[in-house]
Amino acid sequence: MSIFDKYAPLQMRVDMMMKIGQDALGLRFDDIINATRGRIEGREILLAGTNNYLGLTFDEDCMAAAQKAVTDHGTGTTGSRVANGSYAEHIELEAALAEHLGMPSCIVFTTGYQTNLSAISGLAGDKDVIFMDADAHACIIDGTRLTGASTIRFRHNSPEDLDKRLRRQGEIEGGHALVVIEGLYSMFGDVAPIDEFVEVTHNHGGYLFIDEAHSYGVFGETGCGLAEQQGVLDKVDFISGTFSKSLASVGGFCASRHPEFELLRKVMRPYMFTASATPANICAARAAVEKVKTGGHLRDNLKLRGAQLHKGLTEMGYDLCAEAGPVIAVRRPNEAVAAMEWNWLIENGVYVNLAVPPGTPQSSSLLRISLSAAHNEADINIILKAFSDLKDKQGELMAGMAAKMQAAQ
């Protein structure tokens, strides 16, 4: 008996993956050349799975801000903001995000994951009830686990189901309802009807928390996200986001229309007991916020590229999980086929994400594409050509996979 025995089923899945090709959870890039190209095993590859929605990771101003931050303040912060103090740049970034979102309070964190962990665990106490979308991201689920609150899941993207469950719950004695949803859902690329969620939540006296990790920078006139696009930004109670997608850095933020949110800095354990974001990360994100505000042209191109890819894949007969957008997920029949095709795409110069259960809704196996404003029309044509070739090669690939599996037995 070993402490690792419980992972035997996982080991079998990994072994199956390795028979088919590369370890999807351990892929190595030898180089990232720019926002749309990388290198794997000496070969250049088109990046179509990075969540680099605005393509700002190689933006000159963002890079210069990060470089200057290292020169001015060094490489690390060496401690938490509570124990060791904040750098002026942490506070300036909070002010910039608060102003952009039109909210009186904003707190920045070291990662997006830690943001939701901190904010949800800080907001909900023993007597509160958290209502969470069925497809909630892992960090929302993990955040609820740090609270003493009871948790109720409602049907994905269904304000009607939320309404029913809030009604069934009735008065919460000594506590409140905290409703947690996302803007753009990262796996299928579908979007929430935030305006309807605002109405239902507030009708029942609850608070609405939206994770706009995949939608901040991407939607809305000034890039504030889907709540802005749907005209309800000022009504949302809490908006969280990450620096690791549109903001071209690493870190996260949570903003609120309630100034009392500031007090949570003194209770959120994942905020208090971890080191603060590095100067380079903070300053790159600060420069990226300015790009987001004036990034209408980036959002326009991202939209165009999403429409181009969605149309092309639909015409080829691929089963897509949502309308056109920056995330396009292609549904595959099972994990083995998806893994085989993912490997084939890498060998043929296109990197997408292999997304399989338990990280996917409806236990689906997906080839997930995320687009960038840095992609041009020719890049999308390269992706389309790869998916077209993949279709033509189906028979050959299936036979190859069967042979590989057999040889390994």
Long-range contacts at 306-312 (CB < 8 A, ≥ 24 apart): 306/371, 308/377, 308/380, 309/369, 309/371, 309/380, 309/383, 309/384, 312/380, 312/384, 312/387
Whether residue 209 contacts residue 198, with contact meaning beta carbons closer than 8 Å, is answered with no
The residue among 211 and 335 lying less far from ligand PMP, judged by its C-beta, is: 211
The residue among 77 and 240 lying less far from ligand PMP, judged by its C-beta, is: 240
Alpha helices in 184-295 (DSSP H): 194-203, 226-229, 269-272, 279-293
Chain residue whose CB lies nearest ligand PMP? 112
Closest C-alpha to 34, from 46, 22, 23, 43: 46
What is the rounded distance in angstroms from the CA atom of residue 128 to the CA atom of residue 164?
18
Minimal distance, residue 8 CB to ligand PMP, in Å: 28
Closest C-alpha to 235, from 195, 203, 176, 204: 195
Minimal distance, residue 225 CB to ligand PMP, in Å: 12
Minimal distance, residue 136 CB to ligand PMP, in Å: 8
CA distances from 324 to 46, 188, 371 (A): 20, 11, 11
The residue among 287 and 384 lying less far from ligand PMP, judged by its C-beta, is: 287
Minimal distance, residue 309 CB to ligand PMP, in Å: 20
Minimal distance, residue 6 CB to ligand PMP, in Å: 26
What is the rounded distance in angstroms from the CA atom of residue 251 to the CA atom of residue 267?
19
The residue among 239 and 330 lying less far from ligand PMP, judged by its C-beta, is: 239
Q: Kindly state the tokens that stand for 164.
A: 């029913």
The residue among 254 and 313 lying less far from ligand PMP, judged by its C-beta, is: 254
Minimal distance, residue 28 CB to ligand PMP, in Å: 19
The residue among 27 and 382 lying less far from ligand PMP, judged by its C-beta, is: 27
Whether residue 371 contacts residue 301, with contact meaning beta carbons closer than 8 Å, is answered with no
Minimal distance, residue 181 CB to ligand PMP, in Å: 10
The residue among 137 and 291 lying less far from ligand PMP, judged by its C-beta, is: 137
The binding site for ligand PMP (CB under 6 A) comprises 111-113, 116, 137, 139, 182, 186, 211, 213-214, 242, 244, 252
